[in-house]
Chains A and B, each alone.
Chain A
Amino acid sequence: MRIEKCWFCSSTIYPGHGIQFVRNDAKIFRFCRSKCHKNFKMKRNPRKVKWTKAYRRLHGKDMTQDSTFEFERKRNRPERYDRNLTENTLKAIKTIDKVRSRREAKHIETRKKGKKAQLMREAVKELEQSISLVKAPSVLKEDKSYTLPKIKVKVSQEEAKNQPMEE
Chain B
Amino acid sequence: MVQYNFKNITVVPNGKDFIDIILSRTQRQTPTVVHKGYAISRLRQFYMRKVKYTQTNYYDKLSTIIDEFPRLDDIHPFYGDLLHVLYNKDHYKLALGQINTARNLISKIAKDYVRLLKYGDSLYRCKCLKVAALGRMCTVIKRVAPSLAYLEQIRQHMARLPSIDPNTRTILICGYPNVGKSSFINKITRADVDVQPYAFTTKSLFVGHTDYKYLRYQVIDTPGILDRPFEDRNIIEMCSITALAHLRAAVLFFLDISGSCGYTIAQQAALFHSIKSLFMNKPLTIVCNKTDLQPLEGISEEDKKLVMEMKAEAMKTVIGQGGEPTDDQGVLLTMSTLTEDGVIAVKNAACERLLDQRVEIKMKSKKINDCLNRFHVAIPKPRDQKERPPCIPQAVLEAKAKQAAEKEKRKTEKDLENENGGAGVYSASLKKNYILANDEWKEDVLPEILDGHNVYDFIDPDILQRLEELEQEEGLRQAEEVDDDFEMDGKELTPEEQQALAEIRKKKSLLIQQHRIKKSTAESRPIVPRKFDKDKQFTTRRMGRQLSALGLDPSKAIDRARSRSRGRKRERSPDNECGDAMDIDVDTPNKKLRMRSRSQSRSVSRPPGEVVPGEGFKDSAQKVKAQKLAKKSSKKRNKDARRGEADRVIPTLKPKHLFSGKRSTGKTDRR
| Minimum C-beta distance from B454 to chain A (A) | 5
Q: A12-B452, A74-B457, A80-B436 are in contact. Are A117 and B555 (CB under 8 A)?
A: no
A2 touches B448 (CB 8 A): yes
| Minimum C-beta distance from B476 to chain A (A) | 12
Please, what's the 1-or-0 string for B446-462, where 1 marks a CB less than 8 Å from any CB in chain A? Answer: 11111111111111110
Interface of chain A residues 93 through 144 with chain B (CB within 8 A): 93-97, 99, 102-103, 106, 113, 116-117, 120, 123-124, 126-127, 130-131, 133-136, 138-139
A153 touches B458 (CB 8 A): no
Instruction: Indicate the member of B449, B458, B474, B507 with the most A CB atoms within 10 Å.
Output: B458
| Chain B positions within 8 Å of A135 at CB level | 500, 550-551
| Chain B positions within 8 Å of A127 at CB level | 497, 500-501, 504
Q: Is A75 an interface residue (CB 8 A)?
A: yes
Name the residue on B nearest A4 (C-beta): B454
CA distance A166 to B539 in the complex (A): 13
Q: Is B481 an interface residue (CB 8 A)?
A: yes
Which one of A23-31, A32-40, A41-49, A84-92 is at the interface? A84-92
| Minimum C-beta distance from A163 to chain B (A) | 9
| Minimum C-beta distance from A148 to chain B (A) | 6
A81 touches B446 (CB 8 A): yes
Q: Is A145 an interface residue (CB 8 A)?
A: yes
Q: Is B488 an interface residue (CB 8 A)?
A: yes
Q: A1-B448, A81-B436, A81-B441 are in contact. Are A151 and B457 (CB under 8 A)?
A: no
Q: Is B499 an interface residue (CB 8 A)?
A: yes
| Minimum C-beta distance from B491 to chain A (A) | 6
Interface of chain A, main secondary structure = helix
CA distance A126 to B492 in the complex (A): 15
B501 touches A126 (CB 8 A): yes
Please, what's the 1-or-0 string for A147-167, where 1 marks a CB less than 8 Å from any CB in chain B? Answer: 111111110000100000011
Instruction: Indicate the member of B447, B460, B493 with the most A CB atoms within 10 Å.
Output: B460
Name the residue on B nearest A133 (C-beta): B507
A72 touches B458 (CB 8 A): yes
Q: Is B554 an interface residue (CB 8 A)?
A: yes
| Chain B positions within 8 Å of A14 at CB level | 449
| Minimum C-beta distance from A86 to chain B (A) | 6
Q: Is B586 an interface residue (CB 8 A)?
A: no
| Chain B positions within 8 Å of A21 at CB level | none
Q: Is B549 an interface residue (CB 8 A)?
A: yes
Name the residue on B nearest A121 (C-beta): B491
| Chain B positions within 8 Å of A86 at CB level | 444, 446, 455, 459
CA distance A148 to B549 in the complex (A): 9
Name the residue on B nearest A86 (C-beta): B446
| Chain A positions within 8 Å of B508 at CB level | 130, 133
B550 touches A89 (CB 8 A): no
A139 touches B463 (CB 8 A): no
CA distance A63 to B541 in the complex (A): 60
| Minimum C-beta distance from A53 to chain B (A) | 14
Which residue of A85, A92, A153 contacts B545 across the interface (Cβ within 8 Å)? A153
Q: Is B466 an interface residue (CB 8 A)?
A: yes
| Minimum C-beta distance from B183 to chain A (A) | 68
Name the residue on B nearest A12 (C-beta): B452
Name the residue on A nearest B466 (C-beta): A71
A75 touches B459 (CB 8 A): yes
B448 touches A117 (CB 8 A): no
Please, what's the 1-or-0 string for B427-450, where 1 marks a CB less than 8 Å from any CB in chain A? Answer: 000000011111001001011111
B459 touches A79 (CB 8 A): yes
B458 touches A89 (CB 8 A): yes
B549 touches A151 (CB 8 A): yes
Interface size class of B (residues with CB under 8 A): 35 or more
B438 touches A83 (CB 8 A): yes
Interface of chain B, main secondary structure = helix
CA distance A80 to B562 in the complex (A): 100
Q: Is B320 an interface residue (CB 8 A)?
A: no
| Chain A positions within 8 Å of B551 at CB level | 135-136, 139, 148-150
Interface of chain B residues 499 through 548 with chain A (CB within 8 A): 499-501, 503-505, 507-508, 541, 544-545, 547-548
| Chain B positions within 8 Å of A64 at CB level | none
| Minimum C-beta distance from A111 to chain B (A) | 14
A96 touches B470 (CB 8 A): yes
| Minimum C-beta distance from A73 to chain B (A) | 6
Instruction: Indicate the member of A81, A154, A167 with the most B CB atoms within 10 Å.
Output: A81
Q: Is A22 an interface residue (CB 8 A)?
A: no
Which residue of A80, A106, A117, A145 contacts B481 across the interface (Cβ within 8 Å)? A106
Name the residue on A nearest B544 (C-beta): A153
| Minimum C-beta distance from A150 to chain B (A) | 8
Q: Is B658 an interface residue (CB 8 A)?
A: no
Instruction: Indicate the member of A93, A95, A135, A167 with the most B CB atoms within 10 Å.
Output: A93
| Chain B positions within 8 Å of A151 at CB level | 548-549
CA distance A68 to B458 in the complex (A): 11
Name the residue on A nearest B481 (C-beta): A106
Q: A86-B459, A148-B496 are in contact. Are A136 and B550 (CB under 8 A)?
A: yes
| Chain B positions within 8 Å of A2 at CB level | 448, 454, 456
B548 touches A153 (CB 8 A): yes
Name the residue on B nearest A71 (C-beta): B458
A148 touches B503 (CB 8 A): yes
Q: Is B471 an interface residue (CB 8 A)?
A: yes
B457 touches A72 (CB 8 A): yes
A117 touches B444 (CB 8 A): no
Name the residue on B nearest A68 (C-beta): B470
A120 touches B448 (CB 8 A): no
A94 touches B451 (CB 8 A): yes
CA distance A82 to B455 in the complex (A): 13
Which residue of A68, A71, A79, A102 contacts B461 across the interface (Cβ within 8 Å)? A79
Q: A90-B450, A106-B481, A147-B496 are in contact. Are A99 and B504 (CB under 8 A)?
A: no
Q: A82-B437, A99-B474, A134-B550 are in contact. Are A148 and B500 (CB under 8 A)?
A: yes
Name the residue on B nearest A143 (C-beta): B551
Instruction: Indicate the member of B473, B481, B548 with the most A CB atoms within 10 Å.
Output: B548
Supply 7 A–B pairs (Cβ within 8 Å), ascending by A: A74-B454, A80-B437, A95-B467, A116-B488, A133-B504, A134-B549, A148-B500
Q: Could you tell me which B residues sit within 8 Å of A by CB distance?
A: 434-438, 441, 444, 446-461, 463-464, 466-467, 470-471, 473-474, 477, 481, 488, 490-494, 496-497, 499-501, 503-505, 507-508, 541, 544-545, 547-555
In addition to A85-B459, A88-B467, A94-B451, 17 A-B residue pairs with Cβ atoms within 8 Å of each other are A3-B453, A68-B470, A71-B463, A73-B457, A85-B463, A88-B463, A92-B467, A95-B470, A96-B470, A116-B490, A127-B504, A133-B507, A134-B504, A138-B552, A147-B496, A149-B549, A152-B553
What 5 pairs between A and B have smallest CB-CB spacing?
Answer: A149-B551, A139-B551, A136-B550, A147-B496, A146-B500
